[in-house]
Amino acid sequence: MEISTLATYHCLAFVWYFFVAYSITHIKTEERPSEVFLYGGQWKYLTVLNLVLQAVFYGVSFLADVLRLIKKLRCAKCVISSRDLLFSVLAFPVSTFVCISFWTLYTYNRELVYPKSLDGVIPLWLNHAMHTAVLPFALLEILALPHRYPAKKKGLILLGFVAFLYISWVLWIYSVTGEWVYPLFALFSPPGLAAFFAGSLAIIISFYNFGEFLNRMIWGQSKFS
């Protein structure tokens, strides 16, 4: 894909994610169900954090494209390294996890992850923007250009560290409010919850490996932008 076309795509994707993140974080307080958006607001939900992550990623990608267009190649090289690290370790595996885990649990019992009371607050288009569109965007990014993956050990350590931070945030919210971020967590005993978190980490690691596999299958080992 031409750099100018990439720049246009990344700019549009950045604007889209910024708009979606803005929309969800500016729901009027009086419209929110009492049991939702307590301590931590929307920032306790992985879905919302992922929107911010994607906006940052596409912003960095657009900056890399612009630097390449104006021939600032030394600066572009550093930004491209950051872009590839963001995509490989976080943007692709988190988007894939958000989409697949949400719709799997929603199909099983929506009250565990997305109570029906939210239907009157969050429009249908916004729900799909947060939970559905993120996966096609991630796949399109892999098809659009190659990304250099870090050494496997480094990538998994970074991913595991971010997962640890989010789990710590979830547990902190529970310790303060006595309420779980997702009703699903209330179904588990402490050992069961630990096993659930471990299983979720294993799944997101598998998505990391899947992204690396797709990148290698499409672009080979040597072609990088």
Flag whether pLDDT at 223 surpasses 50. Answer: no
Q: Is residue 176 part of a domain?
A: yes
Between CA 102 and CA 105 the distance in angstroms is: 5
Q: What pLDDT score does 222 carry?
A: 45
Flag whether pLDDT at 182 surpasses 50. Answer: yes
Beta-carbon neighbour count of residue 65 at 10 Å?
25
Q: Is residue 31 part of a domain?
A: no
Tell me what the mean pLDDT of segment 146-159 comes to. 94
Q: Which of 26-30, 52-56, 150-154 has the lowest mean pLDDT?
A: 26-30
* Confidence bin at 225 (pLDDT 50/70/90): very low
* Confidence bin at 70 (pLDDT 50/70/90): confident
Q: Is residue 159 part of a domain?
A: yes
Between CA 55 and CA 32 the distance in angstroms is: 24
Q: What pLDDT score does 224 carry?
A: 45
Between CA 205 and CA 97 the distance in angstroms is: 10
Which residue is associated with the tokens 């299983």?
199
Between CA 208 and CA 159 the distance in angstroms is: 9
The total of structural domains in the chain comes to 1
The reply to whether the predicted model has a pTM over 0.75 is yes
Q: What pLDDT score does 27 carry?
A: 76
Beta-carbon neighbour count of residue 39 at 10 Å?
14
Q: Is residue 102 part of a domain?
A: yes
User: By percentage, how much of the chain surpasses pLDDT 90?
Assistant: 72
Structural domain containing residue 137: 3-24+41-219
Q: Find all residues with CB under 8 Å of 212, minimum gap 6, and list them.
A: 88, 149, 155
* Confidence bin at 34 (pLDDT 50/70/90): very low
Which residue is associated with the tokens 């030394």?
74
- Greater confidence (114 vs 31) lies with 114
Phi-psi region of 51 (alpha: psi -120 to 50; beta: other; left: phi over 0): alpha
